[in-house]
Amino acid sequence: MEGKIVKATIITIGDELLIGQVIDTNSAWIAKKLNEAGIWLHRRVSIGDVKEQITETLKEESKHTDIIIITGGLGPTADDITKPVLCEYFGGKLVIDNKVLKHIQSIFEKRKLPFTERNAKQAELPDVCTVLHNPVGTAPGMLFEKNNKLYFSLPGVPMEMQVIMEDHVLPILKKKTTDSVILHRTLVTSGIGESFLADLIQDWEETLPDYIKLAYLPSFGLIRLRLTGKHRDEQILEKELSDNFRTLKELVKDYLIIEEDLTLPEYISKIMKDRNITLGTVESCTGGNIARSITVLPGASAFYMGSVIAYDNKVKTEILGVKSTTLQSHGAVSEATVQEMVSGGLRSLKTDYIIATTGIMGPDGGSAEKPVGTVWIGIGNHRKMISKKYNFPYNREKNILMVTNTALNMLRKMILEEES
């Protein structure tokens, strides 16, 4: 395979993917890892737990690709048929692997669970595969080779799939693809639509060499722009990519909010930790989503102190000290209320910065004066307060995500402006 572009296909197996009960996050994770390893993902295919489909898809995809990564269908239940089908496809037979059997038994002992015949069956493996050890679960990965192509079969449980990818699959693949490098440069913009952004950078985009590609990745009011370059010569690529990234930053400078491959919560975490300042949130309409977007990141406790989620007005008055008269005369969704929420948050959570949100996310609760999507966002520290009204035209879930990004971006701006 050396010396040419290495192409891969991901095949995810499971009826649950075809009835829409499960969102496939494995494919995106694998795609990202392959991309980083310089392997071009040709296609992703999802099929059901059906023997004929699995066989047919393997045959078809083998025509176009060098590497096939299969996930799912290795569990102990009756709707999982991947293993016997692969065994037959590659012309082997199932035999007990004693190392795997011992490993499964030790997992059951550790979890103090009885060991059943069904579990023992997971140690039956095709005698034509290389077994890829699964340290965190009972179903091992398998590697098959046929006509100089590699076929990896991995369990569908994300954590187990990820461990086997990192421990076995990626090291094997990296050995096969030493001839070219893939590098990325990423930035994030806010406050500009996709088509305006495209107009702004079109002339420059047309001058890009064919080994550098640009992708637009919009996400709830933000657009991530990503340059991906692939070249045999790392130095040439590095220079060309850096030059073009510099030009791109200059072109979008009025909308540029992050110059690296970080999400907005990750960026907020970084600048707050760097500056040794603390944050609290006072959420009404976002109902904990801002807090969650921050606390899901490792190390959040270094700067994030906590939140008062004041969903009910009583919580606004009693814990945050918002005045009843303010709520009565201006309403819960008003500038006066959001400002008192910020002050109350600074007082009770004792942080350097507070984000506050109050709004109507829908589908009910709107009025002619304050329709669904109306929201007030307030950001403040002990010197300054900023409050802004927005109207988002989306459904409940998307409105909440838009308010979250908008509020975090207001915080980002305020922190940076305080310094200048």
In 3D, which of 358, 418, 412 has the Cα closest to residue 384?
418
Q: Which residue from 70, 69, 89, 74 is spatially nearest to 173, judged by alpha carbons?
A: 69
Token digits for 178?
């030493």
What angle separates helix 234-251 from helix 194-206, to the nearest 10 degrees?
130
Cα separation, 294 vs 313, in Å, equals: 25
Query: Does the protein bind its own copies through residue 212 (CB under 8 A)?
Result: no
Residue 216 or 384 having the CB closest to its own copies: 216
Q: How many CB atoms lie within 10 A of CB 41?
A: 19
Report, in Å, the least distance between residue 202 CB and its own copies. 7
Query: Which lies closer to its own copies via its Cβ, residue 44 or residue 149?
Result: 44
Q: Which of 82, 134, 153, 289 binds its own copies (CB under 8 A)?
A: 289
Round to the nearest angstrom and report the end-to-end CA distance of the chain: 54
Whose tokens are 């030059």? That residue is 243
Distance separating alpha carbons of residues 15 and 85, to the nearest angstrom: 16
| 113 scored as a contact of its own copies (CB under 8 A) | yes
Dihedral (CA of 334, 340, 345, 351) sign: positive
With H, G, I as helix, E, B as strand and everything else as coil, classify residue 356: strand
Count of positions on this chain that bind its own copies (CB under 8 A)? 102
CB of 316 to its own copies, least distance (A): 8
CA–CA separation, 369 and 224 (whole Å): 35
181: number of Cβ within 10 Å: 17
Q: Which of 89, 152, 245, 304 binds its own copies (CB under 8 A)?
A: 304
Among 143, 256, 277, 315, binds its own copies (CB under 8 A): 315
CB-wise, 76 or 92, nearer to its own copies?
Answer: 76
Residues 374 and 366: their CA atoms lie apart, in Å, by: 8
Please state, in angstroms and as integers, the Cα–Cα distance from residue 153 to each residue in 50, 54, 108, following that order: 16, 12, 23
Compute the least distance from the CB of residue 91 to its own copies, in Å. 25
Told to check if 391 binds its own copies by CB under 8 A, we report no
127, 171, 179, 196: which one contacts its own copies (CB under 8 A)?
196
Q: Tell me the closest approach of the beta carbon of residue 393 to its own copies, in angstroms.
A: 8
Answer whether 253's CB lies under 8 Å from 191's CB: no
- Write down the residue that tokens 């985009």 correspond to: 205
Strand partners for 187: 225
Binder of its own copies out of 84, 92, 306, 366 (CB under 8 A): 306
20-59 binders of its own copies (CB under 8 A): 20-25, 27-35, 41-48, 53, 57
Here the tokens at position 274 are: 């760097």
Nearest approach in angstroms of CB 394 to its own copies is 6
Give the nearer residue to its own copies in terms of CB position, either 143 or 214: 214
Residue from 243, 245, 345, 333 nearest 290 by CA: 345
Stretch that binds its own copies, among 65-73, 126-134, 211-219, 230-238 (CB under 8 A): 211-219
Phi-psi category of residue 299: left, alpha or beta, with phi > 0 → left and psi -120 to 50 → alpha: left
Of 67-96, which residues contact its own copies (CB under 8 A)? 75-79
Tokens of 176: 């096969």
Which member of 209, 215, 239, 329 binds its own copies (CB under 8 A)?
A: 215
Is 296 a binding residue for its own copies by CB under 8 A? The answer is yes
Closest distance of CB 376 from its own copies, Å:
17
Query: What mask of x and - would describe binding to its own copies in positions 133 to 152, judged by CB under 8 A?
Result: ---x----------------
Segment near its own copies (CB under 8 A), from 84-92, 234-242, 297-305, 333-341?
Answer: 297-305
CB nearer to its own copies: pick between 130 and 219: 219
12 or 128, CB closer to its own copies? 12
Binding residue for its own copies, selected from 105, 394, 410, 414, defined by CB under 8 A: 394
Nearest distance, CB of residue 374 and its own copies, angstroms: 15
What is the torsional sign of CA 279, 277, 345, 364?
Answer: negative
Structure tokens at 354: 């507070």
Contact between residue 394 and residue 382 where contact means Cβ atoms under 8 Å apart: no
CA separation for the pair 283, 285 (Å, rounded)? 6
Interface with its own copies, residue 300, by CB under 8 A: yes
Of 241-280, which residues contact its own copies (CB under 8 A)? none
Q: Which of 55, 247, 263, 295 binds its own copies (CB under 8 A)?
A: 295
Q: Which of residues 352-381 bind its own copies (CB under 8 A)?
A: 362-365
If the CB atoms of residues 5 and 214 are measured against its own copies, the closer one turns out to be 214
* Contact residue for its own copies among 93, 102, 133, 159 (CB under 8 A): 159
